[in-house]
Every structure is written in C-alpha cells, then in structure tokens.
Amino acid sequence: MKRIYLHPIPVRIWHWIHAACITLLVISGVFIRFADYTKAIPLDQAVRFHNIVGIIVALDFILWFAYYVGTGKIKTYFPTVEELAHGAIRQIKFYSFEIFLGKPNPFHPTPENKFNPLQKTAYLNIMLLLLPIQILTGLFLLYPVKFSSIINFFGGIKVIDTIHVLLFFFFASFIIAHFYLATLGHTPLAHFKAMITGWEEEPEEHH
C-alpha cells in the first residue's frame, strides 16, 4: 500500500468546518423553506441559526481563498486543456461503468495534483462561482435594506431569493453526490480517513 500526504492540516480543518456548516445550512434551509410543514423548530429560530452558520461559511470561505491563493495551491483547481480533452473522458468512462467491472481508477493523486479533471471542473465552478454567489445572495437577504440598490439592480428581492433557493437545492444534491463519490476509494472509508489523517492510501500496481 502506497501512502501519500495529500491533505495538509489547514485544508482538513477547513474541509470539516465547511462540510458541517453546509450540512447545517441545508437542514435549517429546509425548516425555513418548508416552515408550514416542518414544525419541529420555530421559524425565527431556524432563520437566526441559518444566518449565523451562513456567516461562518462566508468567513471560512475567505480563509480558504486566502490560503489557496497565498500558497499558490489555487492552481490545483484549474484543469489543463489536455486534462479536459483526454482525462475527463477517461474519468467519465471509469465512473460510468469501469468501476463496476473492478477496474482501477485511471487518476492517481499527488500533492501537486490532487483532483482528476472532473473534480477540478466541478470544484472550480463550485468554489469560485456558485459558493460566492450563494454567500452574496445570502448576505443580500440578510441585509435587504443596506443592499437595496444592488438587489434592485438584479431584479428585486424575489430574484435574489430564487437564486439562493435554487443554489440551496444544488448544494443539497452535491452533498449526496460528494458523499457517494467519497466512498469510491480502495475501501469505502479510505477517502474519509485521508481527510482526517491527511494520508491517502493507494494500492500498489502490479504488472
């Protein structure tokens, strides 16, 4: 078994804070969006909790961005043309049917290149586009009077709320997909263990 130190401590701390907060935001968002059907938590308490956790996510994102830009690790999220042209197809084939035939993952992570082309494309859009939009729309909904001019520029509070809710459904779906994909290591818990210890284990290839 080959061991690779893949996830530094700052990345692991950020990941678990972020994972916990996004999950809590989705759960509290359900209580807010479907308040007429979910009576377990009063609406005002759910909104207050949602806002507090949202602020934590925003601060956590700023720390993530500063760390990745400051260390130059942000380039990890940008796929090359070759990766998109060839690597992406290999990964699609692997996830679509080769994994069910017991074939090995064609991508092997390194500290300098942790993500396969599909992961890079997904994470790039999520971390540098969708999550910032979700944070900003949440901020506008939290302080509608203060940001009234910006809200009106984008079509009003209903437009901002719709974008926020649609992204809420996306992130809820992403959590499920991310959890499933995290079980596709050489054992179902291998990737979870790596995000706790920092060390990724890969079976040695035998020729």
For the chain, the structural domain boundaries read: 2-202
How many whole angstroms separate alpha carbon 98 and alpha carbon 35? 43
Q: Residues 181, 198: contact at Cβ < 8 Å? A: no
How many whole angstroms separate alpha carbon 79 and alpha carbon 49? 37
In this predicted structure, the answer to whether residue 201 has a pLDDT above a threshold of 60 is yes
In this predicted structure, the answer to whether residue 137 has a pLDDT above a threshold of 90 is yes
**Could you read off the pLDDT of 75-122 as tens digits, one per residue?**
999 999 988 888 899 999 998 889 888 888 888 888 888 999 999 999
44 CB neighbour count, 10 Å cutoff: 9
In this predicted structure, the answer to whether residue 207 has a pLDDT above a threshold of 50 is no
| DSSP letter for each residue of 174-202 | HHHHHHHHTT-SSSTTHHHHHHHHSEEEE
Q: What is the rounded radius of gyration, in angstroms, for the C-alpha atoms of the chain? A: 19
The pLDDT of residue 141 is 94
**Could you read off the pLDDT of 142-184 as tens digits, one per residue?**
999 999 999 999 999 999 999 999 999 999 999 999 999 899 8
- For the chain, the first-to-last Cα distance in angstroms comes to 15
111 CB neighbour count, 10 Å cutoff: 13
- What's 79-108 look like in SS3? CCHHHHHHHHHHHHHHHHCHHHHCCCCCCC
The pLDDT of residue 93 is 92
How many whole angstroms separate alpha carbon 207 and alpha carbon 85? 27
**pTM of the entire structure?**
0.88
**Could you read off the pLDDT of 40-75 as tens digits, one per residue?**
788 899 999 999 999 999 999 999 999 999 999 899
Which CATH architecture is the domain 2-202 placed in? Up-down Bundle (1.20)
